[in-house]
Amino acid sequence: MDVYIDIVLLINFISNFFLLYITSQIMKMKVKMKYYCLGAFIGSLYVIVLFYPSLRWLTTIPFKLFSAFVIIAITFRRKELLFLIKTTIIYILSSFLLAGVCLWMDINNKPFSILGYKIGCTYKELMLALMIIYIVIHRIVTFVMDRIDLNNLIYDVKIITKGSNLDIKAFLDTGNELREPVTNLPVIVVDKNALKNIRMESYDKLLIPYEVISGGGGNLQGFKPDYIEIKRKGKAERREVIVAFSDVSFCGVKEYEGLLSRGII
């Protein structure tokens, strides 16, 4: 029987990708696509040892367990040993389940049929197609749901100043409780480029200290506008806030230009 190494590698890549994808869902972890691909690629290369008798020692149980651990560590990129061990166990159990299904398909390797009508593909080909379809559909559904959640947290904000008004879209950062220490007013952080038409020299400059989860921090420059209006449920609500400048754009596709602290809403 002829065996095509490229086909074998492709089948193993799809299978490993699917297993890593399912494992990340069970662990409720978001993983970047490139790390799925990297882990699946490394896992697919493991099948090469079956073609070289001199490498059969790599098929021993200890090395298989170690290989699974390495694949998980590369894909999930976490340093917690307990997490990696737990995730590796789930990955291995998922592999056992998939191997059992594949063994059944290998025994029944015949054209697939529905209600007596032959479809023209084997059970193995059907299984690979279902893996791909599941991943694609799940990615699409996840993207759409993320977009819906994101849009629900974006508000239309009008910054009212002495010389002009500025309309922006701002994202509600529910973990942000930033306040200006002197006035104790909540802070809205705005992309500095969006404020270029506002004459900020008419206002006193304020320094707002901040800290991030990673331990870093610093000071943001800001000013107090006359007030802002936030559109909620079709109504414009007036708020007293401090507007701080940010030199970093919040979103590459310009979905919003500002971050709202929880105290504003």
Catalytic residues: 173
**Contact at 8 Å (CB) between 168 and 196?**
no
**Contact at 8 Å (CB) between 170 and 260?**
yes
Cα Dmax for the chain: 83
Q: Which two tokens stand for residue 15?
A: 């299978």
Query: Distance between CA atoms of 220 and 37, rounded to whole angstroms?
Result: 39
Say what angle helices 81-107 and 5-26 make with each other, to 10 degrees: 130
Q: Any alpha helices (H) in the chain, and if so which ranges?
A: 5-26, 33-45, 61-76, 81-107, 123-152
The rounded Cα 8 to chain-centroid distance in angstroms is 30
